[in-house]
Amino acid sequence: MSGPLDGLLVVDLSRALAGPQAAMMFGDLGARVIKVESPSGDDSRSWGPPFVHAEDGAGATESTYFLSCNRNKESITLDLKRAEDAQVLAALIRRADVLMENFKAGALGRLGFGSERLMELNPRLVVLSISGFGHDGPEAGRAGYDQIAQGEAGLMSLTGPDADHPQRIGVPIADLLAGMNGAFGVLAALRERDRTGRGQIVRTSLLASVVAAHAFQGTRWTVGGEVGTAQGNHHPTIAPYGLFRCAGGNVQIACGNDAMWQRLCDAFGIRADDPRHATNRDRVAHRDSVAELLESVFAELAPDELLHRLSDAGVPAGRVRSLDEVYEWEQTRSQRLLIDVEHHGVGKMSLPGSALRMFAVDAAGSETETTRVDHCPPPVLGADSDAVREWLESPQTH
């Protein structure tokens, strides 16, 4: 394996999405990731449809959900209630740099792998522990699922057409944010281990990750005393910034300052001196009249023509693409956001790629891309059990 994290060993005890996402990020960057599954497998292996099957009908059946967050990993099955299998996990922990888990509070301890035991087995171990609502506090014991967290952490109240129709975001954003925050925390702990020689426990939660992502909506309340509510496809503090109808479709416009507004007005013959629209503060206060004005001007323009004129005017704009259009878009492919792998049970498949690209720069300033391109497919359940056990019996460390 290649990548900046080559040489690190991650033991992934997590299930579903938040933990597997964090572990996959390490695998994408070259770490060796061993996914430990129960004999029945990660819950997400059964989350479907859709499922994919081998063309000959004889191979594995895999859920597309599982495939989304488990590339670049090996799979070993262990029943941690069995003493022999618990010993295998202990051997993995002794060699690991990182352990990731998202069991309910106290569950790992009841299996004999509480914090004290983990550090006893490996004082250099960095542990990532992801929960639903935090590891302490009055509701620490609650199970964490993405949609519940989106609601409890206020995100659904900010999403949807209006305050009376809260809406979940179309991807499991609480899980994904928790995974990304967890991966970031682990890297920080590994950096500290370089100085101290000791590992530590990194904790995050779905609740913490959503609240930390409130951004201006958070300070809108904590500083400004204003409770944000859902406002559909228009920004609450910038105008015009949102989705606007045109002939046969829609476009999105983002006028981030008054100079952009002036360019928009000049390009489309709009009165820029209307006192209702002179500054961003004015336009936010009269958002409805801004939208009505723009949609009347755009009414005779098809999306492609409108986007072309907006681009010429230097006004940021874009279309709303369906997912198939996104993955067929040349810009998406140019960013290595689609990768091809050969799955051992299903065959050839394309997967969404990593958000990161890496480049080495020489003394002359020339860049050479070092992004990992040799990706491994998500593993068939238990595919690497024998190989991992054999490796654990060898004297090598990684």
* pLDDT confidence of residue 345: 83
The mean pLDDT of 163-186, rounded to a whole number, is: 97
pLDDT band at 36 (very low <50, low <70, confident <90, very high): very high
Q: Provide the token pair at 338.
A: 């689609």
Q: What is the mean pLDDT of residues 171-178?
A: 98
Mean pLDDT in residue range 177-193: 98
- Mean pLDDT in residue range 370-375: 90
Annotated catalytic residue within 97, 146, 175, 384 = 175
Task: Give the separation between CA 340 and CA 150, rounded to whole angstroms.
Answer: 32
pLDDT bucket at 53, cuts 50 / 70 / 90: confident
Q: Give the pLDDT score at 273.
A: 82
Residue corresponding to tokens 């910038």 = 238
Superfamily of domain 9-213+341-392: Crotonobetainyl-coa:carnitine coa-transferase; domain 1 (3.40.50.10540)
Active site residue 175: yes
Q: For the segment 259-309, what is each residue's pLDDT rounded down to a tens digit?
A: 999 999 999 999 888 999 999 999 999 999 999 999 999 999 999 999 999
In this predicted structure, what is the pLDDT of residue 302? 97
Q: What is the mean pLDDT of residues 63-79?
A: 96
Q: What is the mean pLDDT of the chain?
A: 94
What pTM was computed for the model?
0.92
Q: Who's near 247: CB < 8 A, 6+ residues apart?
A: 298, 299, 300, 301, 302, 303
DSSP 3-state of 397: coil
Give the lowest-confidence range in 57-66, 87-96, 194-203.
Answer: 57-66
Could you tell me the pLDDT band of residue 2, with boundaries at 50, 70 and 90?
Answer: confident
Fold of 241-318: formyl-coa transferase, domain 3 (3.30.1540)
Among 279, 276, 300, CA closest to 288: 276
Max CA distance (Å), the chain: 78
Give residue 4's pLDDT: 93
Per-residue pLDDT, 216: 96
pLDDT at 59 over 80: no
Residue 353 pLDDT greater than 80, yes or no: yes
144-165 pLDDT tens trace: 899 999 999 999 999 999 999 9
Inform me whether the pLDDT recorded for 361 exceeds 60.
yes
Give CA–CA dist 199/268, Å, rounded: 60
Dig out the tokens for 309 from the structure. Answer: 């004129």
pLDDT digits (tens, 9 = 90+) for 213-253: 999 999 999 999 999 999 999 999 999 999 999 999 999 99
Q: Are 271 and 265 in contact (CB under 8 A)?
A: yes
Q: How does pLDDT run across 306-333, given as a tens digit for each residue?
A: 999 999 999 999 999 999 999 999 999 9
DSSP string covering 11-79, please? Answer: EE---TTHHHHHHHHHHHTT-EEEEEE-TT--GGGG--S-EEE-TTS-S-EEEHHHHTS--S-EEEE--
| In the chain, domain spans | 9-213+341-392, 241-318
In this model, does residue 31 exceed pLDDT 90? yes
The CB density around residue 324, as the number of other CB atoms within 10 Å, is 8
Would you say residue 5 has pLDDT above 90?
yes
The answer on pLDDT for 344 being more than 90 is no
Structure confidence by residue, pLDDT tens digits, 117-146: 999 999 999 999 999 999 999 999 898 899
Residue type, 360: A
The confidence score (pLDDT) of residue 272 equals 83
Q: Output the pLDDT for position 58.
A: 62
Cis peptide upstream of residue 236 (ω within 30 degrees of 0): no
